[in-house]
Structure formats: C-alpha cells, structure tokens
Structure 1
C-alpha cells in the first residue's frame, strides 16, 4: 500500500519565537478516499524525530521538518513524501 504525506502549510504562531511553528499536513493512501489532515508543531516534530525511524512517509516528513533551517520552512509547503 502506498502512503503519501504532504506538507500543506506552515505558520509561525509567534514570528519572534523559533519554537512556535506549526505545519499542516495530510496523510493519504489508496484505501481512503479522503486524506487525513493534521497539524504538528516544531516542538512535537523534534520529539517524534528522536523516536521515529525515517522509513515511512510520515517519518521522513517529520525528519525533514526538524532538519530544515527555519528560513526554509515556507519552502517545505507542497513537499510530498511517499512510502510504498
């Protein structure tokens, strides 16, 4: 089964804080007609990245968020990750 994780949007809750960033994303697969949308904060992504193995679409997406420079967060919007 192919799973896709896509970053849909990035928002800085408080622009002066490096920690308060949120990423809206969707997860989809061929079994579900509607993608599931959710939000992850940068803080939560950092915790997840320390626990996840990046061998899934979601894991790779989280790792990419954590490893990206804050100046590049808006460039992550539209980035898709796939796992077959």
Structure 2
C-alpha cells in the first residue's frame, strides 16, 4: 500500500520534504520509522534517543492527528494515509 510522508523543519536536512512510500499492509508507525531510518540513516539520531526510544517533543501526525492520541508508535497505517514528521523545537 502507498502512504505519503512529509517532513518539516530540520528533518528536511536529512530526508526528502515529501514523498510517497510503499509499505506492507497493517504496518505501524514504528514499522514506517524503521523503513525511514534505513533509507535516511541520519534521521535516526534526529528522532530517536540512543536507547531507541522516540525523543520527547518529536511529533508525528497521522492524517493530521497526533499519534500520541491514537496508539502511539503502534498506530496502524492504511492506504492513502498522510504522515507528518516534526522534530523537537527549541527557542524561546
């Protein structure tokens, strides 16, 4: 099945800004992130801590909805879904 991934801010330094990707049926956000870090190795350090957990304040939206309010990394993807990846933001 095909989904669309869009990256924002500093993540665009490590991956394409927007692209379609083929992924297996019933794949999860975790599966997608594994695929993305294999395709874009520098992405891993941007979104994951050394122990493999997602960094605080990394926001992942599934069709405009934060995965934290669905099933987190276990959120299941469907044909045509749109994923948006936002890095931690700093400043003040």
What's the TM-score once normalised by structure 2's chain length? Answer: 0.29
Which has a greater percent of strand?
A: 1
TM-score by length of 1: 0.31
